[in-house]
Structure 1
Amino acid sequence: MKKFITLALVLVLVLSVALTGCSSNEPAPSNGGDEAPAAESLKIIAAHNQTSPDNPYQIGLLEFKEVAESLSDGAIEVEVHAGTLGTNENELVEKLQLGAADVVIVSPGFMTQTGIKEVDIFALPFLFDSYDHWEAVVDGEIGEEIAQLINEQSNNQFKIVGYWTAGVRHYYGKEPIHSMDDLRGMTIRTQTSGVVADYWTRAGAIPTSVAWGELYQALQQRTVDSAENAYPFYVQQNHHKTVNGKYTTETGHDYTTRFMLVNGNKFDSLTAEQQDIILQAARASVEAERAALYAQEDEHKQILIDDGGEVNEIDRTPFIELAVPLQDQAAVEMGVVELLEKIRALM
């Protein structure tokens, strides 16, 4: 009997060891030690629509990747896509909704296509008069209010985890402009609907839709007379070297806002530790992207000049005077009159 009991105990011990080995993927029970359990693994697909490796968007998302992977000791893996998931922002929004992307960078204009019309306030021409003004808005109570509005109206599909910028936008085209009259009858690549198109139409130009990836060819082949963007973006794409992109007039009509978005429902499903790491990485990416953009504006303006491009300044007063009533009208239509007044009060 003693031999039988001893044999039975041995078999139980062997079986116990075998089961422990088979369940090695399960979290180990706490042994009362100081060593923290390993973080759960997570893969994040982060995407933007720019293709240049030197673009501020790429610099920002690479910073997000570095911080997220470092803080998680590699448990969180970030895969950055520079234009490879789509060069149109509506593609990125769709992929975020479908779960094919986890972090995307998009403009307010594409968010309005989801039915959240209020965010188009950021697209109003001459809404901001400096980067200090812009930062005071997006980094303060107004930025928090917009973030909450987007989250609620999208039923938690979209969650803002950071405000990026795509620089201050200027006109560039086949000839310089010295007054608003020079825009009359000129085609300009910009948004073809909403407040942006309305403004350029009132200024006398003809808004034209051209995909960003096709704009170099459109300018070179004279399909479009002009465009508008910030130095780091169009100079990196060599638009200033095209036939219809040589002349830049510093209209400064848009201090741009870009949303760093995640899917709120997926974010809420993560552990508290993962959420905290993602938010820390997002804050780091905001600082890196803005710093890169601010530095590159001066750098790429000089590159443009060195390459033979020409830059002129303009009296912006008539352009601003045209924009103010448009801002008022759009704010009423969007239901953001109070928000507009708050933004103006921070000037």
Structure 2
Amino acid sequence: MKMKRFTGVLTAVLVSGAMLAGCSGANDANAPANEGASSGDEGKKQPTYTFRLAESHPADYPTTLADKKFAELVGEKSGGRIKIEVFPSAQLGEEKAVIEQVQLGAIEFTRVSTGPLAEFNKAFGVFSLPYIFENEEHEWKFLNGPEAQKMLEDLSSSKFMGLAYYDSGARSFYTREPVTSIEDLKGKKIRVIQNKVNIDLMDALGASATPMPYGDVFNALQTGVIDGAENNWPSYFTSKHYEQAKHIIVDGHQRVPEVLMASQVTWDKLSDEDKKIIKEAATESIAYQREQWKQFEKESEDKVRAAGVTVTEVSDLKPWQDAVKPMIEEYRADYKDVLAAIEGSK
């Protein structure tokens, strides 16, 4: 009886030790992905995984809801073998720090803006160039096209696996004091995403770029460290930045998509079957995210307007576009093919 009990315990230890899991503590994320399962041997158990997905936005934000939908789909398609736990509200760190951890394989998945991602993969800096998309339809025609999909694949050179693009609307400027024209923006200290393109954009518009983590912006607005920031309607609302910066000028200078991605370290250890499951789940989550985004974007704008924020619509974008033309030409050599594809998607 003792021998049977010992044999059973030993077997359980050997099997559980062979299973790869993200950061569950019980399993080793560095173990070979197919250990414990034999290709073509249906009698062997397939590996199980528990992965983490880092998200900087709140639990009810459209990207977080899409993260959860993605995780749900992965669970369903894998029969519960692959579990992805979503950690919202920057619980695992701010975006830039998380990207570094994903690159190392310490965190398995994340949803990140292409803004900070450009610091790790230069190609994604193109999305920070101003006024390159005419509208949402133009943006998504490009994102669904071959050039944008190739960009996701090419993230492997930076040790990431790009899975899908998510919507993030258009970005506009909001400030502590009224800004009703491009001239009013001159000299203002504006928080920007931490990449060079955004810094150059502020220079082109005559403002002073102040890079800082998203989580520091509210206090910086409150204390006057910065005069304003720029973002989309949902972020402006959920961050409560509108309480400190009560003026927004809707110029829609950027459409900076989000990227759902995995660590290449993690990806390389998965079987082809599990890669397919994860990729399919990511693709299927896009429509859900875009639906959630459109609804929340409208709700956010309505609530901000109801709170008494001064909203200035830019009726003539030409002065803004003219101001940034030299900057875009400066970057054209870096993004020649992508810009050509964007312009061809109109």
**TM-score where L is the length of structure 1:** 0.84
1:287 lines up with 2:287 in the alignment: yes
SS at match of 2:327: helix
Structure 1 residues 27 and 127 mapped into 2: Cα distance closer, same or farther (>3 Å)? closer
Query: Do 1:104 and 1:261's aligned partners in 2 also have CA atoms closer than 8 Å?
Result: yes
Paired letter, 2:134? D
User: Contact conserved, 2:205 with 2:324, CA < 8 A, in 1?
Assistant: no
Deviation per residue, 1:219-268 (Å, 9 max, x gap): 122221111000111201111112xx101110101111222111234213
Aligned pair in 2 of structure 1 residues 286, 67: CA closer, same or farther (>3 Å)?
same
Distance 1:225 1:29, change over 3 A: closer
Contact 1:45–1:100 (Cα < 8 Å) also in 2: no
- Shift in Å at residue 145 of structure 1? 2.4
The equivalent of 1:135 in structure 2 is 140
Contact 2:193–2:213, Cα closer than 8 Å, also in 1:
no
Shift of 1:65: 1.4
Q: 2:194 & 2:7 partners in 1: Cα distance? A: 64
Contact 1:304 1:310 in 2 (8 A): no
Quick check: which has more Rg, 1 or 2?
Answer: 1
Instruction: State the one-letter code of the partner of 2:322.
Output: E
> Aligned residues, how many?
320
Distance 1:193 1:18 in 2: 58
Please, which of 109, 119, 122 is the counterpart of residue 113 of structure 1? 119
Alignment partner of 1:280: what SS?
A: helix
Deviation at 1:190, TM superposition (A): 0.9
Identity of aligned residues (%): 25
Q: Tell me if 1:42 matches 2:46.
A: no
Residue 316, structure 1, aligned to residue 317, structure 2: yes
Report the Cα distance in structure 1 between the residues aligned to 2:251 and 2:342, rounded to whole angstroms: 20
Contact 1:121 1:331 in 2 (8 A): no
Aligned pair 1:217/2:223, yes or no? no
Contact 1:192 1:207 survives alignment (8 Å)? no
Verify the 8 A CA contact 2:194 2:213 in the aligned structure 1: no
Amino acid aligned to 1:303? K
Q: 1:345: Cα distance to partner? A: 1.7
Q: CA RMSD in A?
A: 2.6
Distance 1:339 1:18 in 2: 62
Question: Match of 1:257?
Answer: 257
CA distance in 1, matches of 2:38, 2:183: 73
Shift of 1:98: 2.2
Offset, 1:40: 2.3
Q: How does 1:32-111 map to 2 (within 5 A)?
A: 39-50=46-57, 52-82=58-88, 83-87=90-94, 89-111=95-117
Structure 1's unaligned 5+ residue stretches are 1-14
**Residues 162-173 of structure 1 aligned to structure 2 (within 5 Å):** 162-173=164-175
> Which TM-score applies when normalising by structure 2?
0.84
Distance 2:251 2:43 in 1: 55
Aligned with 1:229 (options 217, 231, 237) = 231
Partner of 1:6: none
Letter in 1 for 2:216: E
User: Is the CA contact 1:328–1:337 (under 8 Å) kept in the aligned structure 2?
Assistant: no
- Residue of structure 1 equivalent to 2:271: 271
Deviation of the 1:164 alpha carbon = 1.5
CA distance in 1, matches of 2:336, 2:236: 33
Cα offset, 1:20, TM superposition: 8.6
Shift of 1:21: 9.1
CA distance in structure 2 between the partners assigned to 1:227 and 1:338 by the alignment: 30
Equivalence for 2:343: 344
Residue 19 of structure 1 deviates from its aligned partner by 6.7
Query: Contact 2:188–2:227 at 8 Å: present in 1 too?
Result: yes
Task: Find the residue that maps to 1:43 and give its secondary structure.
Answer: strand
